[in-house]
Each structure stands twice: as structure tokens, then as C-alpha cells.
Structure 1
Amino acid sequence: MKKLSLVLLSVLFLSVGVMAKGVDDGKAVYKVDPIKSKVIWTGKKVTGEHTGTVLVDNGEVHVSGESLELANIKMDMNSIACTDLSGDMNQKLVGHLKSDDFFSVENHPQAVFEATGFKAGAADGEYIVTGKLTIKGITHELSFPATVEVNDGTVTANGTAEIDRTKYDVKYGSGKFFSGLGDKMIYDDFEIEFNLVATAEAI
């Protein structure tokens, strides 16, 4: 079993069929499998938390020999879903997340993570992934730990990134920008958990 350094996230982070195209110099391009992959978000507030998912439009991982060169993933912000609420409460929260108060989905339908650095982490099979996350057209550097494995032609990558939403102009309910929120305050940091799968078909 080979261990490779990979990223998703995402964020940020979900999906299509997967193939790898090999070339003479040992390089290959893997396309993320959206059906088998998952991107899960968790947002917290004073009175609790909410969780949900975001789908991936497409993504690629570029590998040279046994080393990762770069990776990117494009997430469909229109697909934002909440998994801990039902009925009207669910629709209300999802609609609010898509609005200008949060992710302005109509004007910014995609979030993109581009990874260019993969450094060995403290644990076996762990890597520190470094790259740039773009949300609402705003880009910032992002680093997080991820585990990556290549086994029998299947690449799996799992990692969790913590993101300060206010850096991406998502300020609604933030104690940094609004006073007197009380128990209506929403914490600035939220999590994106990436569980990615890519299946290679050698050519």
C-alpha cells in the first residue's frame, strides 16, 4: 500500500467519475469521483450547531511517481444542504445560507480549493495540505492535516479544515462586527470535512 500526500478539501471539498491518464514520465491525472466522495460542513452558534453537505462539480489530482504535485476541487454552492433539520426549518436555513447574508450563491455559484503543497505530518500517512480557498470570489491561504492512501488503484483522502468565514465576507451574526447578539451569535469558524475517493483506470 502506498501512502501519498493529497488534499481534499475544500473545502471545501464532491463529484463525477474517476479516471487516471498515465504518461511516459510517470505522471497521472486523477478525476474526483463525486458519487463516492463527501464534503460535510459544520457551523456552530451559541445555542448549538448545524451540519450539512455540499456537492463537488469536479476536481483533479496531479501525481508524479509517488508524489502529489497539485490538486483542485470545485464545489457547487447551489447544492448546499442541511442534514440536521427537516421541513420548513430546513428550507429556511438553506435559503438563508444561499442569500447575501452568507454565501451569495446566485453571484458566486462555486467555491474552489487549489492545493499546491503537501508536507509530511506527525502521524503515519498524514500530510499537511497547503493551498488557496476561494469563496465569494475572495481567496485566502488554507492549511489543514489530511490522510491519503493509494491502494489497488483507488485514492482516498480524508481531512478537516477550519475556516474563518469572516475572511470571505460572511459576517452575519459575527461577534467581531455586531454587538449585543447574545445567544444569536454565530461563531466565526466553521469546519469542512473532506472524504474524497478517486479510482484510477490505467491507460
Structure 2
Amino acid sequence: MSTTTLTGLTAGTWTVDPTHSEVGFVARHLMVSKVRGAFTDVQGTVVVGEDLADSTAEVTIKTASVATGTPDRDAHLRSGDFFDVDTHPDMVFRSTSFDGSTLRGELTVKGITKPVTLDVDFLGVATDPWGNEKAAFEAEGEIDRTEWGLTWNANLEKGGVLVGEKVKIAIDLQLGKQA
């Protein structure tokens, strides 16, 4: 598939603009409500091929940057019960294929690598006031956190568990074209 399907996106190296990007997540809490959070330290490179199928992406997410708006919960997520940030400071995503709307790749968390699939929307290309070419994407998908060893939980008195196993991923990504 040619890059012409993503109007304005040109071949070359693009880097994640961390100040305009977010890797967010949503997990069930108490089986009925949702907890939202994000990772605030995201870095990466996307190499767009002349043929879109030849494109690659690699993104590193610092696990210690997890933020849910609740300091105690964030500290628990950073602990050995979840991300164990002292031992596993990074999560890494490496693409394996992209067809313009579906991004497939491998996500490594806590030393465990598993395949993931994300539905992608290309939002377009723009030039900022300083002459820098930018591109934007949104992506979403769902994973089972237990597949990556994120198994901590607590049983509830009336049944169910404190934290749901399914986690929705929501990504807003802005890229800057490298000269």
C-alpha cells in the first residue's frame, strides 16, 4: 500500500513529540467504575517507508511516568505488584506491520513480550509556526494485563475483584519529521 493513502504523510523518519503525545489507559475498578491514567514520558521513532507496508515504529514508555491523579495509586502501580519500575523501567512497543488503519506489533512489559493490535486513525499533517512538519495519529486497543505478569488483585467481599484484567489503551501521538 502506498503512503498516498495517508494524505500528506511523507516517507522518512519521524520522532514522537512527547509534549504533544499521550499513552493512556482505562481499567475497571471494583468491577463497576473506571480508572484512567497515562504515561507521561513517551519517546519513539517512526520510519515511514516509500511503501506504507515497509514502515516501522518503536516506542519506549517510561513505566515510572504512570499518572492516574492519585499519588498512592501511582506509587502502587510503580511497585513490584505492577510495573516494578526499579527492575523494569521501560515498556517497549515494536511494530510488525501497518496497513494504514491497523498497527500490529509486540509490546514488552516486565520482560514479557506479547503481540498487540491497535486500530489507528490518521489525523493529518500540518506545519507548525516554526516550519516543522508534524503528523498526528490516534490509536486504541485492548489488552489483558495478566499476560504481561501484571496479576496483582484483591478479591471483593461480595464477589469480583478490585482491578479488571482487561485494559483499554488510548494513544494520541504527534510526530515531528526529521530533516
Q: What's the TM-score, normalizing by structure 1? A: 0.73
Match of 1:34 among 18, 24, 30: 18
Match of 2:140 among 136, 145, 160: 160
Q: After superposition, what is the alpha-carbon deviation per residue over 1:25-82, rounded to whole angstroms, capped at 9, x for unaligned?
A: x851111100011111111121422111102342000012262510011001111111
Alignment-derived partner of residue 129 in structure 2: none
Q: After superposition, what is the alpha-carbon deviation per residue over 1:113-138, rounded to whole angstroms, capped at 9, x for unaligned?
A: 11120125xxxxxx111000001110
Q: 3-state SS of the aligned residue for 1:78? A: helix
Higher helix proportion, which one?
2
Moved over 6 A (4+): 178-181
Q: Does 1:198 align with 2:178?
A: no
Q: 3-state SS of the aligned residue for 1:192? A: strand
What is the number of residues matched between the two proteins? 167
Q: Percent same amino acid among aligned pairs?
A: 25
Tell me: higher relative CO, structure 1 or 2? Use CA pairs within 8 A at least 6 residues apart: 1
Q: What's the TM-score, normalizing by structure 2? A: 0.82
Match of 1:60 among 45, 67, 72: 45
Query: 2 CA distance for matches of 1:47 and 1:147?
Result: 29
Match of 1:105 among 82, 85, 98: 85
One-letter identity of the residue aligned with 2:21: S
Classify 1:117/1:164 alpha carbon distance in 2 versus 1 (closer, same or farther; 3 Å).
Answer: same
Q: After superposition, what is the alpha-carbon deviation per residue over 1:146-197, rounded to whole angstroms, capped at 9, x for unaligned?
A: 11244243211101121110001111127xxx79772543211111211000
Classify 1:102/1:181 alpha carbon distance in 2 versus 1 (closer, same or farther; 3 Å).
Answer: farther
Root-mean-square deviation (CA, aligned residues, Å) is 2.5
Classify 1:150/1:179 alpha carbon distance in 2 versus 1 (closer, same or farther; 3 Å).
Answer: closer
